[in-house]
Structure 1
């Protein structure tokens, strides 16, 4: 049997800058988006949108609110997070976004001391002095804030710098802060590291939740993620719940809290009066 000849390479194949006009256009678009993000941070054009996380057993009770950073362009339009989050993850710009989200979350808690809030962060921000100083200064000025603060770290980020993260988490637990592992079940998991880090909350990734009530193969994976989280001593929250069918299945599967558009979208004008001092239980006890 003969073999197909490989086509001759052209200068467009050899020169990455010229290889694809589409790639070049995307690169320009990325640079423009990152420039908008940097400008929004510099000029403080930002908001925190809050989404309720409710008890599975009684969705009328809010366990906590998750805060999502919203950066605005010069026309006060939201810059979609999907357009920049992946690009800034390893950059200082990502740490500056974490600083902004933390600061806005802490300000909301200071104005509304009855609420509990979770704020997203990268594990790499633990080594970023401005971010750490914002947190420590807030805890010094208002020590009670720690008991109402949840820091969310996605699974991939947590497993990158466990040696730095572990002592930080131990230190912050002394202030009452709780840690949530975001996107649980979405990627490769190091069971040993997750055990050593000891996250209190596991947030089941939305990709496992979608249509879980109608897809038997998805149910098996979701049950496995829930069982693993419980085995590691984590309280289970399901993200991206959009239908009553999904909520019912997750409730019956033992999930403690539910989050998603079914219970309310993220909003920059939340009604914090709806918070009823909910406290997700961990192994029969309240999270401190």
Structure 2
């Protein structure tokens, strides 16, 4: 037995040495570390902005129901660091909490400057109770009572399930003040039905995996109809994410989805219509 155990230990050591000496693995790890360092540095210097994407009504796709503000992190040259390179890694870190604070701060400022705007901002469930995030929210809501009714906070399905009781209590307290909540990426995780019923989300955003090519995917059409019906029974508004084709937009509208979001309508932009109008007024 001792001999076999020694053999297994030796094999494990050789495996670890092999992984450590794998040039590709080392390159990926180095790239990830550089991206995290760049993000932490950008957050320290507040090199963060929001890119805005419209969410249009399915019945009249020329009308915008609200906008989503998507956080963008800039490197020292002003270029956007791709979110896929860091977002999962910072989720559990202090940098992730600070990034949520900056996104909320910029979103609240935009709402204060644009009294007709309704805007959603993403947040991590881990930011609930984070003091700086809470102070940022309280300052923004105190600035103008109307802001709460135009603010939507988006929480990802996986994040909501990390601490469902905490999320439920947090949402209830803010909903009483007028803030709305969206469940982002519904269908991408494993939300427990009993918790789903207890959540009081106002908006349910259907994950893009069900939306992409739905016009030729009968299974996803059935699943999406089921999601829409479930949302209606629980008095939730539905949004289909990542709509990229006219045929998909048509089918989603026929199914009964309330709103649509994706590159088919507009890519996220740091220069939304109200910024262009403001620039025109200044030029005039």
Q: What TM-score comes out, normalization by structure 2 length?
A: 0.90
Deviations 1:38-80 (A, max 9, x none): 1111112111000000110011211100000111111110000
- Structure 2, unaligned runs of 5 or more: 1-7, 277-284
Aligned residues: 268
Does residue 1:164 correspond to 2:166, yes or no?
A: yes
Distance 2:265 2:31 in 1: 35
Distance 1:31 1:137 in 2: 34
Of 173, 178, 191, the match for 2:193: 191
Aligned to 1:124: 126
Aligned to 2:281: none
Distance 2:58 2:255 in 1: 10
Distance 1:96 1:19 in 2: 35
Contact residue 49 and residue 67 of structure 1 kept, 8 A: yes
How do 1:145-160 and structure 2 match up within 5 A?
145-160=147-162
Contact residue 42 and residue 74 of structure 2 kept, 8 A: yes
Q: What TM-score comes out, normalization by structure 1 length?
A: 0.88
Aligned to 1:284: none
Of 214, 218, 223, the match for 1:212: 214
| Bigger helix fraction | 2
Contact residue 153 and residue 181 of structure 1 kept, 8 A: yes
Contact residue 172 and residue 200 of structure 2 kept, 8 A: no
Does residue 1:263 correspond to 2:265, yes or no?
A: yes
Contact residue 109 and residue 140 of structure 2 kept, 8 A: no
Aligned to 1:104: 106
Runs of 4+ in 1 over 6 A off after TM superposition: none
Aligned to 1:272: 274
Shift of 1:141: 2.0
Aligned to 1:94: 96
Shift of the 170–245 alpha-carbon distance from structure 1 to 2, 3 Å rule, reads same
